[in-house]
Structure 1
Amino acid sequence: MPVRVGIREAKAHLSRYLRLVKGGDEVIVTERGRPVGKIVPFRDTDLSVDDRIERLQAEGIIGPPKKLAKVPHPVQAGGKSAQEYLREDREG
């Protein structure tokens, strides 16, 4: 069950409530007894993909990306694009 705390109490003892959140609890912040916000544990899924990759690299779980081989530019055959050839092929 979430812990409920008034704004003044939360400000005065923020570190105490953050310890609860780190332990997996939720803290509901109230103003005059009415909920106005919630402090919840941070999950890795809240990070961007780049931040998650950076964290995995820092933890040694994955290595840095390998260099990719250069891919040649597409060659046009007969001045038509691949989409045009595909469309012609589908139309029969």
Structure 2
Amino acid sequence: MKPVSIGIRDAKINLSKLLKEVQKGAEIIITDRNRPVGRIVPVTPEALSLAERIESLVREGLIQAAKKKKINKLPPPLPLPGRSAREFLEEDRAGERK
């Protein structure tokens, strides 16, 4: 995209619109009495966090956000005849130490 030049006053009035264009990849040159004084450019993907990069890809329509799954509760522990699970665990751990 070709850089767009805009005066300070107009930039202040239209900042939201300008930033939307920058998000699309445009470069904006800010001028003061027709002299360039600043530039607004898109942030490079390397400077964004992973979450921000993913959000950007979703916004561009390149990927879709995953649907959230419900987390199922774990079933209750199985009963052990005659002994507790703790006893089995202690016995197992004692066997590892030998």
TM-score, length of structure 2 as denominator length: 0.48
Q: What does 1:4-83 correspond to in 2, within 5 Å?
A: 4-47=5-48, 51-52=49-50, 55=51
Query: What is the Cα deviation at residue 6 of structure 1?
Result: 0.3
Q: SS of the counterpart of 1:28?
A: strand
Structure 2: segments with no counterpart, 5+ residues: 56-64, 67-98
> Computing the radius of gyration over CA atoms, which structure comes out larger, 1 or 2?
2
How far apart are residue 38 of structure 1 and its match?
0.4
| Equivalent position amino acid for 1:16 in 2 | K
For 2:47 and 2:33, locate their aligned partners in 1 and report how far apart those are by CA, in whole Å: 30
TM-score, with structure 1 as normaliser:
0.51
Q: Quote how far apart the aligned CAs of 1:33 are.
A: 0.3
Show structure 1 runs of 5+ residues with no match: 61-92
Residue deviations 1:28-61, cap 9 Å, x none? 00000000000001122124xxx44xx37x989x
1:42-82 deviation per Cα after TM superposition (whole angstroms, max 9, x unaligned):
122124xxx44xx37x989xxxxxxxxxxxxxxxxxxxxxx
Counterpart amino acid of residue 35 in structure 2: R
> What is the DSSP-based 3-state SS (H/G/I as helix, E as strand, rest coil) of the residue aligned with 2:25?
coil
Identity %: 44
**Cα RMSD, aligned residues only:** 2.4
4+ residue segments displaced more than 3 Å: none
